[in-house]
Structure 1
Amino acid sequence: MYDDRTRDACVVVPGIMGSVLEDAATGIPLWGADLAMLTNSLAGEGFLRALHANAQEQAADADTARRDPLTRIRATALLATPWWLPVFGGFDPYNDVHGTLTGVVLASDAVASFPYDWRLAVSYNGALLARAARAHLAQWREQVAARSEWRAAGEQRPRLLFAAHSMGGLVVRAALEQDPELAAETRAVITVGTPFLGSAKAILALNLLNTEAGPRWLLQRVQKMAATLPGVHDLLPGYRCLDQGLDVERLTAADVARFGGDPDLAARSFRELACHREKPFAMPGHRAIVGEAQPTVQTLEEQQSAGYAVAVGRHHAFDVGGDGELLRDPATGIPARRNTYGDGTVHTPSAQAGTQAITYVFGHHGTLMCHDEVLRQIRGIALERPLGAHLGGDSTGTGPGLETPHLGGTFGEPLTLTVTGLATPAGVSLSVRSATTGSAGHPLTLRRDPGRTDGALSARFTADAPDLFRVTLKTGIHPAISQLVLVSPPDA
């Protein structure tokens, strides 16, 4: 009866933006509940300002979580509806992964969710997760011990399995690193699109004030919020990513400040990244699921505009040899560039770091946790079944990719949607539908894009109203790839 069940306790840990936040004193939702905060300039102003981290929240760390947890803002649940933020893009709810795990445990009580205040430092949330995971495991063990049929299913006591998305993988690592006894009680950690080396997109989010795109009201408010958040700074890239032509450097706190971030928060993040480079922490049973073949910002160039530093994302990375030196073109001495692709937010090497047990899938960062192949992989790992290392991709970027405007769109202006990695549009469908109402999709016509040198296909879409839209690519061969994109009202 229980052959298709695991006796372990499971914890779902969402990524940045993946938890619903509310004002603890008033119960007013601040994030993840009402899309009007992103589509209505008047409604959104107060919400986004309320999410700014104050000095106490910026200073909070693991010791704070253990001694005196913060109480101004409360994380209440995982996202239940699709959500979106400029640069970081869209995030789907976590209902599917929660349901997948519920289907393979002895009882639904074995699966817990860990919503957290993603604005705050990874180390702070790691300490909270360690405490919550310990309590969940203890409660589940009591339930198993009370059922004779469950005790007979095996002698080993239940252990923990974590299924973590994006930043959630960093939070799990922090929890297990801070609590070695909890790590010993953990059977497996599944990370999906986790930026172990950081993401160049974090800089783009901090640099929104210097972009010329619109709507300005939304981009400016998001930048001002992001600049105060330790959680965003904990996603900064720790690898060599600042392309200076003849050299490539790691970002410094001064660089981050120049691009619009907080130098103190950046310095703390870079110290932690350096510690993990020097003393890597291996999570027990770590299995990484990596989104592949999607156009992904991997490095940055600095340009000047009206006296401001503008961060320009580039879709290539640089390889480093065993001696720590950059690999260079032998003829010119210029650092060799290579497109490593990724999931649209996290480039491949960052999501791979820390384990050799890797599965590649064609999918976008924010929608990976409802991707059929990802859910199949999570189910197999929970049941301790061997699965092949490659479900869709092969870490070479060969395969279908979907690219949508990372700053979203403005109502009244057409969106350009791009498909990469396909030789022909024959048999390929691209459609757009409302992610909020689920209304019938708009099929689009793909054509070769004359402005691209990579043979990409493109289509244009004009929304009939401001809304959050789901773009879906189907090839007839690969699992469908989807991405969310927000169309906002124009500036007043």
Structure 2
Amino acid sequence: MTQDAVVIVPGIMGSELRDTKTGKILWGLSGTRWLVKAWTRNNGLASLHLTEDELTGTTGRVQATQLLQHSAWTPYLRGHEPYTRLIETITDYVAHPDAICQFAYDWRLPVATNGKLLAQRAREHLTAWRNHEMHNPAVARRGDQRPARLVFIAHSMGGLVTRCALDGTHNDDLAADTRTVITLGTPFYGAVKAAVILNTGHGAPVPLPHHKLKALCQTMPGLHDLLPTYRCLRTSDDVTHLDHSDIKSLGGNPHLAQSSLDFHRTQQDVHLPDHRTLVGTRQSTWQSLTLADGQVTPHWDGARSNTDGSLIRDRSGRILHFPIQGDGTVYRDSAAMGDKISTVPIQHGDLGRADASLDAVVDILLEDIHKGPPLGEPGCGIAVPDVVEAGQTWHAVAERVDSLQGLTCTVTDTEDEDNPQPARMAMRDGHPAAEITLTTPGLYRISLHSRDGYTTSQLVLVAESGLETAEAE
């Protein structure tokens, strides 16, 4: 058991949001009916759009009330698993539940805004825990006899918020009072998916949920903070960084883009104390993109550098591209910051819930150095649609494996977690796959169980039949 104070920082869309005037929950309701309606009806997410006042820094209309308690879904970003298992697990290893701070935040706002709030909240939490009646008894049971320090456990965007909180401009001694920072799939160098979201609808009609996400994110600073900052833009004979003009061309807000680029430059030299990084692997993940006439084409592979910084090329001088993979949202090299890195074959949304992640977090919390699973990368990948129509037949494909041996698939309605249903596996186009037909709209978890004991899962939204599409812009 640890004497330390733990702060859990969720990822984008990982906090429940509530209207402060009406009390209405805008994001994070229980049950899947509201989720299906929110993404498949024209005005379902209108209240989440940032107002002009919010864009100029006047906040308070929306309040983040708690960490996500129920499974949710977003186009492209796919499943958002609740943080209940993470919280319950950590509770078993701290001296008292009051040692845990669940930092909910308005993920629509800039990372810089939320970083400042986190710095203040973390300081308050550490002070309150050190004054708690259970703190001194916890210290007395530890061999080092030291007072509590902070342990940050941050998923996805939460890692960027945590880094900002520790940059020294908000509270210059917070880093000194931090024992370790654990990040789970944090896109320290951004994610191509953010560019794809902003580009939705350029060139072809798309399902209505994808178009609605773009409309929400076009003026959302938080999404712009997730755009790639590494060299990801392919040109005829080079790979370059996205600049604010590129972001404007693909459909983003140039002012928000420039603010985000400026912010990221201030974060480059921020040190995270005893940083432990958990990285998802073996999932097909967009790593680079091309941009032509305002239309983005994402790619599953990307360029890599030699030790001198030059790009690796073939004998003819052409740039070579490598499929590094990742967690399905953040490619491996974007999340792998620092020298204490563990890899797990898990999808992005499941990094805060899966057993392998929780085991790693507990090891670190108890001050055992977690070396992570072997770099041979066990488990498998999973490829599923992000939204399907009720009654439509589709396939969940197992990636990075070529045999059915020891591979099983289950389908779980997130409103009936105790009743997973098996799905029959068969070879399809050379890959193991499960053929699935779901007749009832809702949110379902598709899980692949490999013979080496790993489970890889992804959430799929089943919409009512006759799903609308939005015309290309």
User: TM exceeds 0.5?
Assistant: yes
Q: Which residue of 261, 281, 295 corresponds with 1:310?
A: 295
1:259 aligns with 2:256: no
Q: Deviation per CA, 1:456-480, whole angstroms, max 9, x where unpaired?
A: 3333322212211100001121321
1:207 is aligned with what amino acid?
N
Q: Which residue of 198, 207, 213 corresponds with 1:215?
A: 207
Partner of 1:488: 463
Residue 433 and residue 377 in structure 1: after superposition, are their counterparts in 2 closer, same or farther (change >3 A)? same
1:297 aligns with 2:277: no
Structure 1 residue 222 displacement after superposition: 1.4
1:23 aligns with 2:19: yes
Tell me the distance in 1 between the aligned counterparts of 2:39 and 2:102. Answer: 33
Contact 1:24 1:74 in 2 (8 A): yes
Q: Which residue of 432, 444, 448 corresponds with 1:469?
A: 444
Residue 384 and residue 402 in structure 1: after superposition, are their counterparts in 2 closer, same or farther (change >3 A)? same
Tell me the distance in 2 between the aligned counterparts of 1:436 and 1:212. Answer: 34
Tell me the distance in 2 between the aligned counterparts of 1:488 and 1:208. Answer: 19
Q: Secondary structure at the match of 2:174?
A: helix
Tell me the distance in 2 between the aligned counterparts of 1:209 and 1:316. Answer: 23
Structure 1, unaligned stretches of length 5 or more? 61-68
Q: Which residue of 80, 94, 101 corresponds with 1:105?
A: 94
Q: Which residue of 264, 287, 290 corresponds with 2:276?
A: 287
Q: Secondary structure at the match of 2:127?
A: helix
1:339 is aligned with what amino acid?
P
Q: Deviation per CA, 1:408-436, whole angstroms, max 9, x where unpaired?
A: 22334333321111121122112222122
Please, which moves more after superposition, 133-142 or 207-216?
207-216
Tell me the distance in 1 between the aligned counterparts of 2:74 and 2:287. Answer: 19
Tell me the distance in 1 between the aligned counterparts of 2:41 and 2:6. Answer: 35
Partner of 1:193: 185
Tell me the distance in 1 between the aligned counterparts of 2:259 and 2:83. Answer: 30
Q: Which residue of 149, 152, 157 corresponds with 1:162?
A: 152
Q: Secondary structure at the match of 2:352?
A: helix
1:479 aligns with 2:468: no
Contact 2:40 2:467 in 1 (8 A): no
1:370 is aligned with what amino acid?
R
Residue 97 and residue 321 in structure 1: after superposition, are their counterparts in 2 closer, same or farther (change >3 A)? same
1:405 aligns with 2:390: no
1:77 aligns with 2:57: no
Structure 1 residue 292 displacement after superposition: 0.8
Tell me the distance in 1 between the aligned counterparts of 2:52 and 2:115. Answer: 20
Structure 1 residue 345 displacement after superposition: 0.5
Structure 1 residue 150 displacement after superposition: 4.4
Structure 1 residue 37 displacement after superposition: 4.3
Q: Secondary structure at the match of 1:328?
A: coil
2:329 is aligned with what amino acid?
T
Q: Secondary structure at the match of 2:166?
A: helix
Tell me the distance in 2 between the aligned counterparts of 1:176 and 1:360. Answer: 25
Partner of 1:419: 398
Q: Secondary structure at the match of 2:351?
A: helix
Q: Which has the higher helix share?
A: 1
TM value normalised by structure 1? 0.89
Q: Deviation per CA, 1:233-266, whole angstroms, max 9, x where unpaired?
A: 0000011112224221211222222222111111
Q: Secondary structure at the match of 1:143?
A: coil
Q: Which residue of 305, 315, 319 corresponds with 1:335?
A: 319
Contact 2:139 2:147 in 1 (8 A): no
Residue 43 and residue 57 in structure 1: after superposition, are their counterparts in 2 closer, same or farther (change >3 A)? same
Partner of 1:326: 311
Structure 1 residue 146 displacement after superposition: 7.1
The total of aligned residue pairs comes to 463
Contact 1:38 1:488 in 2 (8 A): no
Q: Secondary structure at the match of 1:332?
A: coil
1:89 aligns with 2:78: yes
Q: Secondary structure at the match of 1:313?
A: strand
Contact 2:379 2:456 in 1 (8 A): no
Contact 1:366 1:483 in 2 (8 A): yes
TM value normalised by structure 2? 0.92
Tell me the distance in 1 between the aligned counterparts of 2:292 and 2:427. Answer: 30
Tell me the distance in 2 between the aligned counterparts of 1:228 and 1:405. Answer: 27
Contact 1:37 1:45 in 2 (8 A): no
1:384 aligns with 2:367: yes
Structure 1 residue 445 displacement after superposition: 3.3
Partner of 2:471: none
Structure 1 residue 175 displacement after superposition: 0.2
Q: Which residue of 330, 340, 343 corresponds with 1:357?
A: 340
2:304 is aligned with what amino acid?
D
